[in-house]
Every structure is written in C-alpha cells, then in structure tokens.
C-alpha cells in the first residue's frame, strides 16, 4: 500500500457501475482503482448478485453527498433498489430495520456521519439489541454506511468522526477500511453478516489507489494487518491515519528509526493479538486515530495494553495522536492545526523514543 495518494491511473476497462453488464478484460494480476471506485463497484456487484440487498439513504444519488461512490447505481437498478430518502435519519433507519427483520439486507447510507445522532434511538435501542432480545431467533442484517466528511471548512456539524461512540454499543461491529482492497472486502463482509455492522468511510480516502480484484471477495472482521514493519516503535492507526502513519514511517526510516505501522481495519472487535504482538516486540506505542481523544479509540487501545501482561514490557509511556477535544473549526487555516497528520505522528514517535 502506498503512503500517499498517487495520481489516478488511467484504465482501459470500466470500474464504475454502468447500465451495461461488466465486460471481461484481461488484466495482469490486479488492476488499480481508487477507494471510491472500490465502493461503487462493490455496491453494484452486491445489488446485482442478491435481490435482498438494496441501498437506502439521503443523497445516495448525489455526488455532492456521497462523491462518486454511487455513480450509475440508480440508472442500472432503479429507485426500488437505490432509494434516495428525505432528510429524516430516525425514520429512514427504522425503515432499514423493518426491512432487515423481513429478511432484506439494507445498506443504509449516512452521507454525514454527524447526523447519525438523529438515528441513535433506532441504532442503539433497536438495531443493536433485537438479536439478543429475541434469543437469537431474529437478525438485523443492516450495514450502517457512515461517511466522514472532515475538512473543507465544513465545521462542527458536518465534520465529526464519532466512530468511538458506536464501538461502545453492544451488538454492533465497527470496521474502518483504509485501502481500496479493504474497502471492497470489508463491505462484502458487512453485507454478508447476519447482524449490524457500522462501516466507517472517510472521504479523505477516496483518491487513494490500490490493487483490487474484480470479483467479489471478503476481508474478515476483527483482523488487522501490519502495513510497515519495524522494531523501534509501534504506530497503531485507523482509517485515513494509516496513510499518515506510513508517510511518517517512511520519513523516519531515513533517520534510522524503524516504525511498525499496524492498520486495525476493525475497531470492534479489535485484533488484540496483533496489537499485543507488535507492542511486545517494539516496547513503545503511538496510537493515531482521526477521532477525539477523550474516551475515544486511542483510549480503548491504551486500556487494552495497560490491563495486559505485556504492559511490563513497555519501555515508555503511550502517546496518542488524535483530534483535540474541541469542535471542528470553520477555517482552513485552523483546520491545518486541528487535524492530525504525518508530521504529528513523527513528533510523537521521536518523543516516545526519547522517554
């Protein structure tokens, strides 16, 4: 995986959903497509493959809301399979729940993660609990596609990354892909799950390219991956911060600092074995997440280390790189300070090595 977004690669075959059937193309190993194209292709293939799968949510036919992730879907499948709804998150989430109870597999899109708060009653009190409350006799296979639209001067009500809130709710699984390959594979797994999964999608990832097979495949929930090997310090990262961590690791390598970058991919359940193995090896830990610091993903990972036997192997205090505990600013100059990046990760790594 590349540490930065490369220039878009021109391809000779369609990677976006169209009205025409997919054509067969000869490719060497895998073709490269970007993150948004991977989501689009997956949605197209899943809806085409399974009559029980449908997409629903506000703005699912509008690039202004969801970028290029749904281009062509409405033209190919029609308004009964791609349902653009009014602005009513609580009601629409109830519709998705009802459909799931009727053995459908809705993919419910929230184009601004911030407004999932309006649907919290349906998500936390109903979708997450029904399987348990009915003794496992009912399932709620809802994929909650949550899009983070950070940056771009969208300010406090359109830039929030509240993934940690959903990891706190029993009955929900939470994933956060960082590569096009995982964007496709994890989305497939989410739809195949018998119960709800929150699929975290960050628009800052949309132009990152990677190798992605054309056929459907799945990536397991709860399994992280090492993106960059090292022995001096572990950087555990999520979502777009994985790319920032790799940029930092590549720069630190020039200074003879060997940084191991762990991409969690799944926030709940966490790949605790991979996390502990890496930290035990390096003895130092920096955690990079695009959410807030207090009671966030970084806090949970820190706690997992602290309550484990490997804590005695830690050579220095854990350092967290995350959003400050303030709302997002509505100024591009302030955004540059507000959002964590590779430079902040580099400073954290150097600091932990000096302790």
Terminal C-alpha separation, the chain: 31
**Beta strands, E only, the chain:** 31-34, 53-57, 82-84, 105-110, 143-148, 173-175, 197-202, 209-212, 225-228, 233-237, 259-263, 266-268, 285-292, 319-323
- Catalytic one among 105, 131, 158, 228? 158
- Catalytic annotation on 243? no
CB atoms within 10 A of CB 134: 12
Task: Give the contacts of 122 (CB within 8 A, at least 6 positions apart).
Answer: 90, 93, 94, 97
Which of 287, 59, 91, 297 lies closest to 158 in space, CA to CA? 59
State how far the Cα of 334 lies from the Cα of 329, in Å rounded to an integer: 6
What letter does residue 328 receive in the DSSP assignment? P
Q: Which residues carry out catalysis?
A: 158
């Amino acid at each position: 995986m590349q540490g930065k977004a490369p220039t878009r690669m021109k391809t000779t075959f369609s990677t976006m959903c169209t009205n025409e059937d997919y054509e067969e193309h000869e490719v060497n190993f895998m073709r490269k497509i970007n993150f948004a194209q991977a989501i689009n292709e997956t949605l197209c293939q899943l809806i085409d493959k399974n009559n029980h799968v449908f997409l629903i949510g506000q703005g699912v036919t509008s690039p202004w809301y969801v970028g290029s992730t749904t281009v062509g879907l409405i033209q190919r499948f029609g308004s009964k399979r791609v349902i653009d709804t009014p602005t009513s998150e609580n009601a629409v989430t109830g519709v998705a729940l009802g459909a799931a109870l009727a053995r459908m597999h809705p993919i419910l899109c929230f184009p601004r993660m911030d407004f999932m708060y309006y649907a919290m009653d349906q998500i936390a009190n109903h979708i997450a609990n029904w399987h348990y409350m009915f003794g496992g006799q009912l399932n709620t296979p809802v994929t909650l596609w949550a899009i983070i639209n950070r940056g771009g001067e969208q300010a406090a009500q359109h830039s929030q990354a509240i993934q940690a809130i959903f990891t706190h709710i029993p009955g929900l699984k939470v994933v956060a892909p960082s590569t096009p390959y995982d964007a496709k594979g994890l989305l497939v797994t989410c739809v195949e799950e018998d119960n709800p999964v929150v699929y975290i999608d960050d628009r800052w990832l949309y132009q990152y390219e990677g190798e992605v097979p054309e056929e459907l495949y799945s990536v397991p929930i709860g399994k992280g991956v090492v993106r960059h090997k090292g022995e001096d310090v572990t950087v555990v990262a999520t979502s777009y911060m994985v790319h920032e961590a790799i940029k930092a690791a590549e720069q630190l390598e020039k200074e003879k600092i060997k940084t191991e970058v762990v991409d969690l991919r799944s926030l709940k359940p966490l790949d605790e074995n991979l996390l502990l193995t890496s930290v035990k090896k390096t003895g130092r830990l920096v955690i990079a997440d695009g959410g807030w610091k207090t009671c966030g993903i970084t806090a949970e990972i820190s706690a997992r280390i602290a309550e484990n036997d490997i804590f005695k192997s830690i050579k220095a205090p854990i350092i967290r790189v995350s959003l400050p505990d303030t709302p997002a600013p509505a100024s591009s100059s302030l955004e540059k300070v507000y959002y964590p990046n590779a430079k902040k990760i580099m400073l954290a790594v150097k600091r932990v090595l000096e302790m």
